[in-house]
Amino acid sequence: MPRIKKSSRNMTSIEPFQDNRTIGLFHTICKIIYLTCATNFWFEDMDYPAKCMKIYNATSRVVEVIVAVLIISDCGAFWTQPNLTEKQSNDRILLAFANGVSCLAYANVFYYKREIRELVMTLAVRLKKVCNDGTIEIMMLRTTFRYLSALFLVCSSAVFSYGMGSGIQALTTNATFTTVIPSWPDVEDRRVIAGAARIVHYIVWWIFMVRVTSVYSLILTCTIGIAHQFKNLCKYFEDLENIFKGSGSQEEKERKYENAFKVGIKMHSINLWCTRQTQLTGGLVFSGQIIVNVCVLGLLMIQMMYTERNLIAMMPIIFMALAILVGTGVFLWVAGDVTIEASLLPAAMFHSGWHNCTRQSSLRVRKLVTIAIAQAQKPVLIKGLGFIELSYESYVTIVKSSYSLFSVIY
């Protein structure tokens, strides 16, 4: 088991135990986040040279300001860019809205940095100390890799497609290289300095999307970790019956079972706390994805009505739609997994072997099991916008609502 000790800067340090791969997963993700936005969500100091970290932290703050200027510039374009085509006007609304919502969710995660550190510590260390089934952990690692790969792929493809589409149009027609539409320069400004500014805007947009996606990946990984921890807990309760198959007197087995069941109840309580913390720290991320899904998909369908039916023109729309659908999907699917895995816990408690207890021990254990099952039967839900239960069914409903919105407008 890991021994927890204090590190510098009042942060917690651990000596990881050998079979815990979850620590490596979260540590890697936190290192990636630090490299993208110079913020440490890990509960230890990052193992980079102090001088390099100091320089990088200062540089990152400057980049943060530049990114904020880009977001403000997107909004300012509604007043400074009146002469736009139908597609450019739609792009201005779509990207300004999507970037604005993503920026708010990004800032919200940073606001709860301390809570996220504690959440990561709990998922990677505290819960794993008691029960860490190797097979379930490998399933979690594979699920995380699959979902994060999909998230990074579709998000980068969307930004790349906008750049490639605008670049091809700039080379083959008389159009300017325009991706994100800022307050300045004007879309018809053909000066060298204006062209350089557009390229800078595109690079800053890339930086912004990389930062947002990396932070989103931590919330997504925490949610996946909670779902698999409920699966771990089910396995823990199911294995308690093996206590009565071992050696020792009946009294010793009953005492051991009762103590182990109480440990399981505590683990369940910690799991519920992790779910509440994920709702608190990632609630705006979940809500933002729902809002962006409904509004941006509606705008993309409107944009398709005014776009030429050729590969170059349709590519940004297709990749943006895929990014929204997959981005929303992975969050809602893993949140739904939490609900599904938690719903299996009462049955696992019931089949934990309580019927093997006798006399006074049986009376105490039955009361304990009854209360634990009653608590576990309460649905464990992660919600978006405060009232939408995130699940596979709600994902289908949200996607359909985008088309419904489009049908009402047109």
pLDDT of amino acid 234: 95
pLDDT digits (tens, 9 = 90+) for 30-57: 999 999 988 899 988 888 888 888 999 9
CA distances from 205 to 71, 152, 168, 209, 358 (A): 9, 15, 19, 6, 67
pLDDT of amino acid 215: 92
Distance CA 202, CA 183 (A): 14
pLDDT digits (tens, 9 = 90+) for 381-402: 999 988 889 998 888 888 888 7
Using DSSP, state whether 384 is helix, strand or coil: strand
The amino acid occupying position 192 is V
DSSP 3-state percent helix, strand, coil across the chain (nearest 5): 80, 5, 20
Parts of the chain with a pLDDT under 50: 1-18
Domain boundaries, the chain: 18-409
CA distances from 390 to 108, 306, 338, 340 (A): 19, 33, 10, 11
Q: Give 66-109 as a DSSP string.
A: HHHHHHHHHHHHHHH-----HHHHHHHHHHHHHHHHHHHHHHHH
pLDDT of amino acid 370: 94
Predicted TM-score (pTM) above 0.85: yes
